[in-house]
Structure 1
Amino acid sequence: MTEGAARVWRERYELIDLVARVGPSSLWRAYDNRLRRTVGLRTVDSSFPRLHDLHRAAIAAAHITDRRFANVLDVMGPEPDDELVVITEWIPGLALREFLDQPMTPHGAASTVAQAARAISSAHAQGVTHGRLRPSALMLLPDGSVRVRGHGIDAGLYGRDPDLEPVAADIHGIGSLLYACLTARWPFDTEVGLPVAAQENGQPVRPSRTVADIPEALCRIIDSCWQGGYATAAEVAADLRLQAGALTEGPRRQVLHGRRGRVLVTGVVAALGTVAVVMGLADAASRSGDPVTAQPQARGLATLVPSVARDERRLPIVEVEDYDPLGVDGENEDLARFALDRDPLTAWNTVTYYDPYLGGKPGVGLRVDLGAPRQVTSVELKLVGANSDFEVLIGNKRFADPEKYRTFADVTGAGTNILLRSARPMTGRYVVVWFTRLPWIDGGYRGGVRSIVVRSG
């Protein structure tokens, strides 16, 4: 590495801990002195034969905008006789493999891998594949969510595995991750930090032969991942969420209180919380000015904007109600009116769930009636809790099926104040705020709306 090139990034990034060194690559926990945050810093020697292919893979990964990934923040080099440096987010969680000393419950496995599959599907939609899914590629966070790391970079360093078409390789890898979560064994003879599953005729035995009472439906999902039964990762995610919703986790839940009960995750999430809090406090003690904040992103017709347009007018809302078409007994319907009372201290809340993805239920929300079809150009929300994922949906009927509404915006990592505006109006009578991921609040997961304002202009 040349002295000049070294000075460019070493002046900005302070190396703290060497996390791993494999062949030509070293991964460090580092500190960004300019933005005052912890990051991951990977260096790859200039002698690496596929250095320029890896550089292209890192650039492609940097275009992923989904918050479910450890995003690539910067790529430096390679100049002639210089190394490649890739800066990524530092995830304050632990790798999945560190929690597979024993099998997960079927519900836990389905929920965990469903989150990963949804993230992989989002990357595929942006034209980027992972190429080498392993238990080390999934990070579990204290709030129960999953982040995916190593997109394109792991495959660039160590080769795509399995050696299939890129999307098919990722779908195959999702099946292998599900197998690992259910059995605490890796299905193939590859070093991933887990024991290798028993083999029969050159193939891993069915998960239900390793661990009793694994639902056959989950075994079939694994088979379909490995045998080309799925065309997209989104299809795998949908089936996994469906199965997660049909399963229960009685022994791992502790009812606290409430109309339908607050539920506190124990086991994996509790352990993660302890470790991550200790790590976070230690880092915060030595580094000031490194706030943990939501980083909202919006896709769809509308975009995030900082202020209301002068020519917009507020539309009347004649009715508000909870929208829980996939639930049983409603979602705090008696609180829905608080989303319109203009009191910043009151809100409509969801009930409290034991995981951020509503226990496998696709979503829940709040629906407002504008009285007649109106041209909607902006929706302003004040939310309960930070880091919600939600969609704003619009339609002319009170649909029982949320898929029948049109998407005005799809927001991830929302903060507590959100303003969405579209240059092109969408016409409809009903506006739905449809939560698909809930924030961690007071020992459980729940979201809510303090205020909703719909405008036209």
Structure 2
Amino acid sequence: MPESLRAGDVLAGRYRLDELLSESGSGRFWRAQDLVLQRCVAVHLIARSDDRAESLMTAARITAPHHDRRLLRVLDADQGDEVCYIVNEWGQGTSLDIMLANNGPLDPRRAAWVAAEVADSLARAHDAGLTHGRLVPENVLVDLNGQVRIIGFGVEAALHGLPAGRRSADLIDTVAVLYAGLTGKWAGMSTSAVPAAPTVQGQVLRPRQVRAGIPRPLDALCDEVLNTSPGAVPGPRATHDLSDLHGVVDALRTFVGDSSGLAGAEAWRSLHSSQALGAPAPDAEATQVVPEIAASSEPSSSEPPPAAPVMQDTPTQAGMPVFDDDGVGWIPTRTQAPPPPPPFEAEQAKPLFAPTPPDGTPVRRPRPGSATPPAAGYWPWESTGTSTGTSDSFDSGVWPAQETADADDEVPGRHWFQLAMFIGLGVLILVAAAAAFHLGSGGGEDGPEPPASTPTTPAPTAFVDLRATDFDPQGGEPREENPELVPLVLDGDPETSWTTSTYKQNFGRPTGLKDGVGLVVDVGRPVDVREVEVATLGGPTSVSIFVTSKPPTGVEGLTPVGTAAGNGGLTVTLDEAVPGRYVTVWLTSIPPVLDEYRGEVAEVSVKG
């Protein structure tokens, strides 16, 4: 029985079970090592007595001959007295559900490329009369080379007890893979651990109603395929026939365009990713995170392996290339090393203390201008002249008195010093004259001060990636104001709009039942709000703007930061920036529509 097998057991004398990844009922999913080909494989085990055993073997038998580089193939299958097992190719990378859980929805072009690869693979399988039967984000893998791989082709449906030949399920689940990549929600027929897509009256919300910024061609494709009655086939479109997967492939590749660089980008992401994923376990809803482990080598004999040959370096004869008319020649390299440069001359050492001068010579040199001429040598006593003064003491550090220099002897620098004194005196005279002239002409009185420069404030810029919800705190349950239309105020299209419910009376007490309704715009982070623009339609409308750091539950106790009223575009400019994350656009008066009242907002922009 499968539950009696343990890690280290060898199945069918070939597959060593290394790690139990998942179990459900009598089913077991193992990462195993093929001892013959020394490679990692995925092994599905199920009891021979299980009702799914026969359909599992049939699915493996009919899908094994089909070859596609994107399918993780069936490598082996057999059934013994107690167990039935299927051996699949091992895939290593990141599955779509893990991508969505770690990083959120994909960018539209990347999501369309992944879905196009899946759709093209399954379209080829449909042409061969085969189906996957249970395509979910856990079964879509991007491997370490950036290629899209599909897990559990054919056998996954058999393991879950689903019938074969589910072509319509493959079509809807493939487009649901695109929907999941765009929104992070799952809208397919097969069950998945990815959160379910929101629905209204049984219809899946379009991707643009779940997440802003979805291109219209992808939004229309998802809506036409997914929002069909159960069991019905989607009707053809004007440009692409979406009744089968070939039309889906054409539509997606038209949107993606040249996809030559996308696989390389996926490989770069895989290289910098810290998770490696294997194939999903049977009856498990989430892909197992399984790093691939290198196989342990088994010795083939008791003799030691032969030693590897020792590589010896061979000197090269190539030198600098020479290009001439006869071709390319080579200047041979030097056969002998060039001689080293001559050593630097050693600097002559200087004594730390001056030697004792000979008798009869002065200890110090005379100053410039003295009667004694300067010494010619390094030391004071190495002079060529004769001192006119005499002293009875040497080595005392005191120079004897010298005779006064002649009047004609010039001190160096004296003329420059005198010239500098004359120039400084002239500058002082000019400054004094200018000050006197200034005081005499009345310039001392205080004149008008120049106007202070006013710092310029940059124009406010609009925040992006906003989210909005309807806000009706004073209404009855479920307190909604057309929530499915709210994303239209952030789509940048003034032709689309959100409308309030229709009321018999206008807002305001005591005649109205409510003070108003509105929208709460989430900027996504704390910001400084300086301006709010609201584009209204239908007639005169009054709005009040509130800025809060937490989602509001009502307007009682809140002070509006600004108000505006009129037709069309209403702008509320704040004198000072107000910090906060949530901006509430509160409609306090709405225009009449026939004998009733209804507000309409086309766009909302928050700037800071």
The answer to whether 1:241 aligns with 2:253 is: yes
- Counterpart of 2:293 (choices 267, 271, 283) is 283
For CA contacts below 8 A with separation 6 or more, give which structure has more relative contact order.
Answer: 1
Aligned to 2:217: 217
* Paired residue type of 1:236: V
What whole-Å deviation, never above 9, does each CA across 1:162-184 have from its counterpart, x for those lacking one? x8962111011101111111111
Aligned residue in 2 for 1:120: 122
Distance (whole Å) between structure 2 residues aligned to residue 165 and residue 282 of structure 1: 33
1:372 aligned residue: none
Cα distance in structure 1, aligned partners of 2:290 and 2:175: 33
Instruction: Report the alpha carbon displacement of residue 280 of structure 1 after superposing the two structures with TM.
Output: 11
Q: State the one-letter code of the partner of 1:28.
A: W
Residues 63 and 138 of structure 1: CA distance in aligned 2, closer, same or farther (over 3 Å):
same
Question: Aligned AA for 1:70?
Answer: L
Query: C-alpha offsets along residues 50-90 of structure 1, whole Å, 9 cap, x if unaligned?
Result: 3212210111121221121000001111x4x5221000100
Q: How does 1:109-188 map to 2 (within 5 A)?
A: 109-160=111-162, 166-187=166-187
- Distance in 2 of aligned mates of 1:107 and 1:114: 10
Separation (CA, whole Å) in 2 of partners of 1:288 and 1:94: 30
Mark the CA change 1:172 to 1:94 in structure 2 (over 3 Å): closer, same or farther.
same
Deviations 1:282-327 (A, max 9, x none): 73474599xxxxxxxxxxxxxxxxxxxxxxxxxxxxxxxxxxxxxx
Contact 2:55 2:158 (8 Å CA) reproduced = yes
User: Partner of 1:45 in structure 2?
Assistant: 47
> How many residue pairs get matched?
270
1:33 to 35, 39, 47: 35
CA contact (8 A) 2:175 2:222 kept: yes
1:89-104 equivalences under 5 Å are 89-101=89-101, 102-104=104-106
**Contact 1:142/1:273 (<8 A) preserved:** no
1:93 deviates by 1.3
> 8 Å contact 2:113–2:259 — kept in the other structure?
no
Partner of 2:206: 206
Partner-residue secondary structure (3-state), 1:100? helix
> Partners in 2 of 1:100 and 1:191 — Cα distance?
16
Checking the alignment, whether the CA contact within 8 Å between 2:111 and 2:182 is kept in structure 1 is yes
Q: Which amino acid aligns with 2:174?
A: I
CA distance, structure 1, for counterparts of residue 173 and residue 190 of structure 2:
12
- 2 CA distance for matches of 1:67 and 1:248? 17
Q: 8 Å contact 1:121–1:233 — kept in the other structure? A: yes
Per the TM alignment, residue 142 of structure 1 is displaced from its structure 2 partner at its CA by 2.0
Matches within 5 A, 1:211-360: 211-226=211-226, 227=228, 228-229=233-234, 230-245=242-257, 264=265, 268-272=269-273, 275=276, 283-284=293-294, 286=296
Judged with a 3 Å threshold, the aligned counterparts in structure 2 of structure 1 residues 225 and 270 are, in CA distance, closer, same or farther, namely farther
**Given that residues 106 and 247 in structure 1 are in contact (C-alpha distance below 8 angstroms), is that contact kept between their aligned partners in structure 2?**
no
**Matching residue within 67, 75, 78 for 2:77:** 75
Larger mean Cα displacement after TM superposition, 164-173 or 47-56:
164-173
Query: Is this contact kept in 1: 2:95–2:137, CA < 8 A?
Result: yes
Superposed CA deviations along residues 116-174 of structure 1, whole A, max 9, x for unmatched, are: 111111222222100111011111112221111111111112144xx896211101110
Tell me, yes or no, if the aligned pair for 2:22 and 2:30 is still in contact at 8 Å.
yes
How far, CA to CA, are the matches of 1:67 and 1:286 in structure 2? 28
Structure ranking higher in helix proportion: 1
Unaligned 5+ segments in structure 1 are 254-261, 290-457
Residue 46 of structure 1: how far off its partner (Å): 2.2
* 1:211-259: CA deviation from partner (whole Å, max 9, x where unpaired): 101112112222343343333322211211111128999xxx9xxxxxx
User: How far apart, in 2, do the equivalents of 1:44 and 1:210 lie?
Assistant: 41
Q: Distance in 2 between matches of 1:221 and 1:142?
A: 30
Q: Distance in 2 between matches of 1:29 and 1:110?
A: 31
The question of whether the paired residues in 2 share the 8 Å contact of 1:132 and 1:159 is answered with no
- In 2, are the aligned partners of 1:107 and 1:248 still within 8 Å (CA)? no
CA distance in 2 between counterparts of 1:116 and 1:133 reads 9
Decide which moves more: 23-32 or 217-226.
217-226
Taking the aligned partners of 2:222 and 2:291, their CA distance within structure 1 comes to 39
Q: Which has the higher strand share?
A: 1
Aligned pairs (5 A) from 1:333-412: none
Q: Check whether the contact 2:68–2:121 (CA below 8 A) recurs between aligned residues.
A: yes
183 and 282 in structure 1: CA distance in 2 versus 1, 3 angstrom threshold = closer
Q: Which has the larger radius of gyration?
A: 2
Counterpart amino acid of residue 75 in structure 1: A
Q: Alpha carbons of 1:109 and 1:36: their partners in 2 closer, same or farther (altered >3 Å)? A: same
My pick for the range that moved more, 220-229 or 62-71, is 220-229
Structure 2 equivalent of residue 399 of structure 1: none
1:61 corresponds in structure 2 to: 63
The one-letter code of the counterpart of 1:151 is F
Query: Which residue identity lines up with residue 241 of structure 1 in the other structure?
Result: R
Query: 2: CA distance between counterparts of 1:43 and 1:280?
Result: 18
